Amino acid sequence: MPAIRIQGLNKSFDSLTAVNDLTFSVNEGEIFGLVGPDGAGKTTTMRLLTGIMEPSSGDGWVAGHHIVDDAETLKEDIAYMSQRFGLYPDLTVLENIHFYADIYLISRKDREARIEELLGFSNLTPFKDRQAGKLSGGMKQKLGLACALIHTPRVLFLDEPTNGVDPVSRRDFWRILYQLLRKKVTIFVSTAYLDEAERCERLALMHHGALIAVGTPAEIKKLMHGALIEIQADQPRLAATSLRAHLEADSVGLFGDRLHVVTRDAQRTIDQSEILLKASGVVVRDIRLIEPTLEDVFVSVLAGENDHAAN
């Protein structure tokens, strides 16, 4: 049986549809990513699945519990780490964890070994007596995760857990999540970082509350409309402006000092790009076909959705 199963899930606020007819499932013991920009409906979806909010229509089951009919018993088998997880800055790391152990009615006898384990795998043991308010952003996220895991949940919900965290701490956080998979914990994580989404076993792409695609990162990359060309130029902004104005291509994106061009005819686009950029006085350092990232695919799929809507 899937750890999470939702069927035709909808949530509306007056005239706004925040979640629109979501249907998909999450396998037990996998890490599943809910991916989309701000306003896509990720947080609302999490609140529906954790029993915090009732759907306008549709059904969902998490760890065998119906998200409406069994909302209270559901909370015993899940953990939800929101974007603003409730740590108490005046309490120490250890006191915060004990506080959550009290909430879940974990006996003093049973919690000691569990706390030592959580401190160890999150690398917080040296900081157990430090006040939470004096921790770095990355360490606060690790503490939040330790508190969420104190009652050994079957399904862990993480709402953009690494938002605003430095790259090193993000990597450490994901290392901890991979350790949880060995214990058969199902992890449902939302993120706006497309590079981070590559770490998930399967993904659901969301936009404006609707589901665009579900699959492994490799499967989703096959949705790319056309080939992807990367251009390195000495004046990337000028290059992007010139190509957007004159190039026959599906899209031209600027990624730092590089341009990504999506096209149906790779060689023709390469030839046209070299001619246009030379005429604009832009020096091209490199131009080549590359494998798309999830970000490239997401931009391409959204462009296709917008074209379809316009027609």
Q: Nearest CA to 279 among 251, 246, 253?
A: 246
pLDDT at 311 over 50: no
pLDDT at 299 over 80: no
Phi and psi dihedrals of 46, rounded to 5? -60, -40
* pLDDT tens column, 24-56: 999 999 999 999 888 899 999 999 999 999 999
Q: Is residue 305's pLDDT more than 70?
A: no
Per the prediction, the chain carries an average pLDDT of 91
Residue 85, CA distances (Å) to 100, 148, 258, 311 in order = 12, 9, 37, 43
Tell me where in the chain the CATH 3.30.70.2470 domain(s) lie: 227-291
- pTM of the predicted model, to two decimals? 0.85
pLDDT at 12 over 70: yes
DSSP, residue by residue, 192-251: S-HHHHTTSSEEEEEETTEEEEEE-HHHHHTT--SEEEEEEESSHHHHHHHHHHH--SSE
Residues forming a β-bridge with 255: 258
- CATH 3.40.50.300 residue ranges of the chain are 4-221
What CATH fold (topology level) applies to the domain 4-221? Rossmann fold (3.40.50)
* CATH 3.30.70.2470 holds for 227-291: yes
- The full DSSP string for 163-201 is TT--HHHHHHHHHHHHHHHTTT-EEEEEES-HHHHTTSS
Q: Are 276 and 223 in contact (CB under 8 A)?
A: no
